[in-house]
Amino acid sequence: MALDTITPTLSIRDGESETIVSAGGSYELGFFSPGNSKSRYLGIWYKKISTTTRTIVWVANREVPLTDTSGVLTIAHPGILVLINGTNGIVWSSNTTRTTNSPVGQLLESGNLVVKDGNNENSDSFVWQSFDYPCDTLLPGMKFGRNLITGLDRFLSSWKNTDDPSPGQFTLRLSFHGFPQALVIKGQRVIYRLASWDGSGVVGIIPWALSISAKGNEFEMNGNDVYYYFSKPNSGAFARIVLNPSGILQAYLWNDPFDWRIYITVPVDQCDSCNLCGAYAICNMKIAPTCTCLEGFIPKFPKNWNVLDWTEGCIRSIPLACNNSDGFRKYTGLKLPDTFSCCGGGSGCLLWFGGLIDTRMIIDSLHDVFIRAAASELDQIKKKMHSSEKRKSVIIASSVIPVTGMVILGLIMRILKKKVRKQGSRKRGCRMNNINEDGEVDLELPVFDLTLIVNATHNFSNDNKLGEGSFGPVYRGTLMEGQEIALKRLSKNSGQGVVEFKNEIKLIAKLQHWNLVKLLGFCIQGEEKMLIYEFNPNKSLDFFIFDKTRSKLLTWHMRMNIVGGIARGLLYLHQDSRLRIIHRDIKASNILLDKDMNPKISDFGMARTFWGDQTEANTEKNCWDIVMVTYLLNMQLMGSSQSNLMSLALVS
C-alpha cells in the first residue's frame, strides 16, 4: 500500500492531541502509555470514568508499540485504518479486504471503532470494526465467538502484564470440538471451562449469568455464526468482562462515583480447574478429599488417590454387559461434563460417547445426568433403596424423641459450623502442606484462594503496590472482612525461588514474638506463589533513616524503641525460640514499622536454623546478624556515640 494514497478523512497526531475521537462522552480513542511503560499505544478507554489510571478496553498496536509521540492514525483508500510512526513506517493497519470509495472513521457510543461508507449513513454494514478484534475485554454488544462462513474468530487474550498490552499466556475461546463451550486456555492446555451449550441454552460457570439487564445474555448458534454477547445494564452503568494477566476472568460494574465493582470472578475455587479429578469423578470443595468417584465407580489407581493425585480418575466397579440388560443411573446436582466427547442431542439433551470429565457439584444445577450402568448394579441400588425405606419406617415409628434431640443438636452444630466457616472462609483453594518449625505438616496456617487475593489487591493494581524487593513486588490489600494485608508476590525473575519461599513459611509460621512480622498465610496456585502478612502502615525503617526530611521525625525515644525492639527480636531468634534462627539479612528495608512505630523483623528467605545443642555453630553464626545490626546502627539510626555504645551492648 502506497502512503501517498492516504486521505485526510481521519488524521491526528499523538503529539498534537492525546484524545483523537470522543464518542458521545462515553469512550475516547487516543494514544497512551500503560503503567510504568514509556511505549505508546493507540487505544480506547472510558471517558466519563475518572480513576488514577485509565481503564483501557481495546488496543490497536498491542504487539508493536511506538517508541515516541510521533504516531499518526489516518485512513488510506479504500478504507483501511493505518497507524504510522515518525519515519512513515506502518506500525499497524486494519488490513480489511472490504472496500468503499468514501471511507469514514468513527468511534461509536458503544466503544466500537468502525470504518464505514460515508455515502450511506444509515448502513450498519461496516467495512471494518474493532469489535471483531477484541483484546482482553468484552463490552456490551460485542460478539464473542466465530463466524462460520468467513472463519473470523473473536476471542479474548490477556495482557502480558499491567505495563505490556501484548498478548499474554491466556486466551478465552469458544471451542467447537463436540458442542460449543467457552474455555480459558494457557498455551495449548485448558485451564478451566466456563460454560457449555446444551442445545437450548448456556450452562456452567457464568459471567454468562450476568443478570444486569432485561435482555441479559444471548447465545446465538446458526448456520453462519456461533457467538455469545451480553447487553448493557438497565441502569446504564458501564459493564465489562476482562481476562486479566493471571488468567482470571472478572465481570465489572462501575459503582459511580467510587470505583469498579467486581460482579463475578472465575475461577471461583479449586474445583473450577479443568479435569482436576479425572474421568467419572466429582469435585466438591465442601468435603475432604476434594475428589470422589461417582457412585458405581472406584479409583483407577487407589495408591495415587491416597496421595491426592486424582488425574487418572475412576473406573466402573461392575463392568457393563453391553446388551439390553444394561440400564441408566440418574445423577443430580452436577455441572455439565466436558462436551468434547459429545456428538449428539438437541433441545437440552446431550449424548456422551466417552469418559465424563470435569464434573463438580452444583447445588442449583438444572440438568440431570444419566450414566449407563450394569443390570446387577441397578439391582443392588433397588435393594438398598428398599432396605432404606424399611429402616426409615422403623426409625419414624420408634425414634421420635431421639430424632427431636438430633434436630436440636443439628441446629447447634449448624450454628457452630457457620462460625467456623466465617472464620475460615479464606482457607481454600491452594494446595501445599504447611510446615512448622520441626519441618512437620501443620494445617493451622491458613491458605488463601487466588481469587480472594486478586479481589483484595484489585487485581494487583499499581495503586496498591507498596514496593519491590528481591523476592518480588509487595502489594497492600483488604480482605472481605476488612483486615488489611501486605502481600509478597514471587516474581518469575526473582533471584529467590521456591526454596526461599518454603524456608520463610517454615521458619516463621510458628514464631510468635511482638518484634517479628506476623505471617497470616500463603497461596500457591498455578505459577503464583504468594506470602500474606499483617499490614504495617509505617512502611520500613529505610523509608525514614535514609531521607533527610523524614529522619527528623524519629525522636530519640522512637530510635531507642526501634533499637530495643530489633534487639529483642534477635534475642528471641538466637536464643529463646526452640530452633535457633540466624536471619542473615538484617537491614533497614527488612525492619517494618507498625502504626505505633514498633519494629517488626521481616523477610526470612535467607535465614538458617540450628538446634539448641549446636552452641559453637550458633556463636559463630550469630555474629552475622550482630554485625549487620551494628552496621545499621552506625549508619543513621543512632547518633555516632550512642550508636557505638548500643553496638557494644548488642555484641556483648
**Distance from C-alpha of 589 to C-alpha of 557, rounded to nearest angstrom:** 21
Among candidate residues 132, 585, 603, 625, the one labeled active-site is: 585
Instruction: For residue 197, report the phi and psi dihedrals to the nearest 5 degrees.
Output: -95, 125
C-alpha cell of residue 380:
443392588
Residue 561 region by backbone torsions, left for phi larger than 0, else alpha for psi between -120 and 50, else beta: alpha
**Distance from C-alpha of 413 to C-alpha of 226, rounded to nearest angstrom:** 49
**Distance from C-alpha of 575 to C-alpha of 85, rounded to nearest angstrom:** 65
Where b means 16+ CB within 10 Å and e means fewer, 149-159 reads: eeeeebbbbbb
C-alpha cell of residue 467:
514496593
For residue 213, how many other CB atoms are within 10 A of its CB?
Answer: 17
**Length of the chain as a residue count:** 652
Where b means 16+ CB within 10 Å and e means fewer, 288-323 reads: eebbbbbebbebbeeeebeeeebeebbbbeeeeeee
**Distance from C-alpha of 24 to C-alpha of 411, rounded to nearest angstrom:** 57
Is 585 catalytic? The answer is yes
The DSSP secondary structure of 347-407, one letter per residue, reads TTEEEE-S---SEEB-TT----EEEEE-HHHHHHHHHHHHHHHHHHHHHHHH-HHHHHHHH
**Distance from C-alpha of 253 to C-alpha of 250, rounded to nearest angstrom:** 10
Q: State which amino acid sits at residue 607.
A: A
**Distance from C-alpha of 518 to C-alpha of 523, rounded to nearest angstrom:** 16
Please report, for residues 227, 292, 354, 426, the alpha-carbon distance to residue 430 in angstroms, rounded to integers and kept in the order given. 33, 18, 30, 10
For residue 602, how many other CB atoms are within 10 A of its CB?
Answer: 25
553, 555, 561, 563: CA torsion to nearest 10? 80
Residue 117 region by backbone torsions, left for phi larger than 0, else alpha for psi between -120 and 50, else beta: beta
- Listed in sequence order, the residues at least 6 apart from 557 whose beta carbon sits closer than 8 Å to its beta carbon are none
Catalytic positions, written as ranges: 585
